[in-house]
Amino acid sequence: MKKNYKALLIDNLALLFLIIVFYVITKTVSSNLKSYLAIVFLLLILIPNIIFFGIKKDNNYYLGYTVRSIITILLISGISIYILGIFLGFTKGVFGLNSFLTVAIPEFILIIIWEYFRYIVIGDGYSKFSLRFIFTILLIIFSVLIQVNYTTLVDSYSIFVFVCTIVFPTIALEFLCTFLVHNIGFRPSLLYKSIVTLYVYLIPIVPNLGNYLFGVVGVVIPFITFYTINKSLIRDNKYKKTMDTKSSTYITIPIIIFLLIITILVSGIFHYKMISVASNSMEPTFFRGDAVILEYTKPKNIEVGDILVFKHKNIIVVHRVVNIKNHNNKYYFNTKGDANDNEDKFDIEEKDVIGKVDYVVKYIGYPTIFINEMFRKG
Amino acid sequence: MEKRKNLQMGIIGVLAVAVLFMAIGFAAYSQTLNINGDVTVKASKWSIHWDQSSYQLSTGSVPLTSETGLPTLSNTDVNFTATLEKPGDFVEFSIDAVNDGTIDAQLTKITMTSSVTAPYLSYEVNYNGTTYTSTTDNIGLDLGAEESATVKVKVSYVAVADSTQLPANDVNVTVGANFDYEQVA
């Protein structure tokens, strides 16, 4: 029996109610227990759905292709990320028999119920976009509530990191799963979610991406998966290649290249990093609001006249080198801002040196400075 | 199919905004590394002084009377005058140094002075059981908050074997002892 509009609406309302109850109950509960509770709550809606609408068969024409695409994309992504680990280093994951039994297995059960619940509700290919959208939003809220640890959200930085590393990837993942369930079926969505959620329990070391790259990877990989499968769905419907198709490629590719450059420069995973200039001490070389691209350099390669980027009392400073001293085979630098009358009244040790400036990009640093000052005032 | 393409373009736009938002945000936070915290600095008291009520004159010594001169005591000074008439006479008294503040202290130095150095004169200071006969640095004895230490001062007229070493006339001797305390970190 097909679902009608009313049934989908009821499902959404029931889910909303359960989310509110879940939030109230789990404010001080550990995330392990939350997973068990979420299983119970989802079963409360899933079982009536199965009773009224029966069990659906998952047998889409594109199933095989989609499964192969997902495995390929995740394999290539995984290998690329592990290659990044060579530059960034590795860290111990949650690999272990104990965590596998106590965390991974309940999570896997939750994923199965979660995705089958999604399939039962919207997996007929006919449901209205607005209700599918609302349903996905509710699932996102539910997923975030399961993952959140309120005690860690103590300041603006921890909330920002939570948004970038949990909320954004969850949004990307849930929308991708809705797309897969609605267009293909239950199994591709189950496969994708299982791999990206549970791989950490099967691998002893993981690349130390840091919060920024972790967040970017969390949104980009679901997008790549969506793009690949969506493109094949478009092509397979015998959509003729027109100028419109080419123009969207002309827009897409530059955007992707721009985002890639921004990600590489902000993360600093390779030889270069971009930082914003927050003061006018280096006028007229560059001004507040400009961004500089620094090159990681060994202290012995720095010369008088280079613009040095270094840490001083927990602040990053960009000033010109005016003197270099060598004492016991260690370098010490004296610096001065181009606009300052006097030299900086401290020696810079090797350990505080970050790199030297190679390029200046005008004005691009203003958003960063604005947000930085807003956080400091807050 | 136009809908699918538009959806795709829309998602690319959202992705671009999300990545840029993260880039700007993380760059903003990495500009300065701030450690923010709330610290209450409790009002503290540094107070080390003589406990005048603990002053005691040892028995058998030369008495310090209203006729001979009672010692004058204040929180920081103990002044006394005594007359030692024959070898064997000594004046000895004790008084407690008390740390009345909230900051732990450490005795670092005792400076002992005497206007006369002679074989018939013995001057010593005993601080909590340890006897000092000359200026001593780097003592390092702790005096924690609300603790006290007993200081005994003894000036003796020593019996010498050679009577020619005894003073032919009255000798006025001024002795002094300064106790330096430092705060313990």
Q: Would you list the domain boundaries of chain B?
A: 1-35, 48-183
CA dist., res. A188 & res. A304, Å (int): 59
- Domain presence at residue A111: yes
Q: Which residue has the higher pLDDT, A290 or A244?
A: A290
CB-CB: which of B19, B29, B33 is closest to A375?
Answer: B29
- The pLDDT value given to residue B68: 63
A212 at B interface, C-beta within 8 A: yes
Contacts of A376 in chain B (CB under 8 A): 32, 34
- Domain presence at residue A248: no
Number of domains in chain A: 2
Where is average pLDDT lowest: A325-339, A341-355, B171-185?
B171-185
Among A194, A188, A53, residue whose Cα is nearest residue A126: A53
Spatial neighbors of B67 by CB under 8 A, at least 6 apart, are none
Residues A280 and A226 in one domain: no
B20 at A interface, C-beta within 8 A: yes
- The pLDDT value given to residue B100: 82
- Domain presence at residue A60: yes
With bands split at pLDDT 50, 70 and 90, how would you rate the model's confidence at A378?
very low
Taking the CA atoms of B99, B101, B102 and B107 in sequence, report the sign of the dihedral they define.
Answer: negative
Q: Report whether pLDDT(B33) > 60.
A: no
Q: pLDDT, tens digit, for every residue of B113-148?
A: 888 888 888 888 889 888 998 888 888 888 888 888
What is the distance, to the nearest Å, from the Cα of residue A285 to the centroid of all Cα atoms in its chain?
35
With bands split at pLDDT 50, 70 and 90, how would you rate the model's confidence at A249?
low
> Of A239, A260, A282, at which residue does a domain stop?
A239
CA dist., res. A36 & res. A40, Å (int): 7
Q: Report whether pLDDT(A31) > 70.
A: no
With bands split at pLDDT 50, 70 and 90, how would you rate the model's confidence at B185?
low
> Of A217, A239, A261, at which residue does a domain stop?
A239
User: What SS3 string covers chain B?
Assistant: CHHHHHHHHHHHHHHHHHHHHHHHHHHHHHHECCCCCCCCCCCCCCCEEEEEEEEEECCCCCCCCCCCCCCEECCCCEECCCCCCCCCCEEEEEEEEEECCCCCEEEEEEEEEECCCCCCEEEEEEECCEEECCCECCCCEEECCCCEEEEEEEEEECCCCCHHHCCCCCCCCCEEEEEEEEECC
Residues A234 and A289 in one domain: no
Residues A337 and A235 in one domain: no
- Domain presence at residue A253: no
Residues 217-256 of A with CB under 8 A from B: 219-220, 223, 226-227, 230-231, 233-234, 237, 239, 244-245, 248, 251-252, 255-256
CB-CB: which of A263, A274, A314 is closest to B33?
Answer: A314
What is the distance, to the nearest Å, from the Cα of residue A233 to the centroid of all Cα atoms in its chain?
26
- The pLDDT value given to residue A231: 83
Among A376, A167, A338, A358, residue whose Cα is nearest residue A270: A358
Residues A93 and A193 in one domain: yes
Max CA pair span of chain B: 127
ipTM of the complex: 0.73
Q: Which residue has the higher pLDDT, A174 or B42?
A: A174
> Of A215, A239, A263, at which residue does a domain stop?
A239
What percentage of chain B has pLDDT greater than the value 70?
Answer: 84
Structure-token pair, residue A196: 């990206």
User: Are the beta carbons of A219 and B9 separated by less than 8 Å?
Assistant: no
Spatial neighbors of B125 by CB under 8 A, at least 6 apart, are B110, B112, B131, B132, B133, B151, B152, B153, B154, B177
Q: Which residue has the higher pLDDT, A81 or B38?
A: A81
B17 at A interface, C-beta within 8 A: no
Strand B72-73 relative to strand B78-79, pairing = antiparallel
- The pLDDT value given to residue A232: 82
- The pLDDT value given to residue A95: 72
Max CA pair span of chain A: 83
Nearest CA in chain B to A215: B22
Structure-token pair, residue A191: 């496969």
With bands split at pLDDT 50, 70 and 90, how would you rate the model's confidence at A243?
very low
**Closest approach of chain A CAs to the CA of B82, in angstroms?**
59
With bands split at pLDDT 50, 70 and 90, how would you rate the model's confidence at B37?
very low
Where is average pLDDT lowest: A284-288, B90-94, B99-103, B125-129?
B99-103
CATH top-level class of B48-183: mainly beta
Residues A150 and A82 in one domain: yes
Query: CB–CB of A18/A137 below 8 Å?
Result: no
Residues A100 and A230 in one domain: yes
Q: Look up residue A20 and give its DSSP letter.
A: H
Q: Report whether pLDDT(B157) > 80.
A: yes
Q: pLDDT, tens digit, for every residue of A180-192?
A: 998 888 899 999 9
- Domain presence at residue A218: yes
Residues A118 and A68 in one domain: yes
Q: Report whether pLDDT(A250) > 90.
A: no
Mean pLDDT in residue range B19-28 = 83
- The pLDDT value given to residue A226: 92
- The pLDDT value given to residue A246: 55
Alpha helix (H) ranges present in chain A? 5-25, 31-53, 63-88, 97-99, 105-122, 129-147, 156-162, 168-183, 186-198, 210-236, 243-267, 366-377
With bands split at pLDDT 50, 70 and 90, how would you rate the model's confidence at A1?
very low
CA dist., res. A149 & res. A143, Å (int): 12
B9 at A interface, C-beta within 8 A: yes
- Domain presence at residue A251: no
What percentage of chain A has pLDDT greater than the value 90?
Answer: 23
Residue type, B120: Y
Cβ-based burial of A114 (10 A; exposed 0-12, middle 13-18, buried ≥19): buried
The CATH number for A276's domain is 2.10.109.10
Mean pLDDT in residue range A85-107 = 79
Q: pLDDT, tens digit, for every residue of A151-160?
A: 777 778 888 8
Contacts of A316 in chain B (CB under 8 A): 30-32
User: Are the beta carbons of A239 and B1 separated by less than 8 Å?
Assistant: yes
Buried b / exposed e along A180-200 (16+ C-beta atoms within 10 A)? bbbbbbbbbbbbbbeebebee
Specify the 3-state DSSP secondary structure of A275.
Answer: strand
Mean pLDDT taken over chain B: 79
Long-range contacts of A26-31 (CB under 8 A, 24+ apart): A26/A145, A26/A146, A27/A150, A28/A150, A31/A146, A31/A147, A31/A149
Q: pLDDT, tens digit, for every residue of A300-314?
A: 899 999 999 988 877
- The parent domain of residue A315 ranges over 272-377
Mean pLDDT taken over chain A: 83
Residue type, A367: P
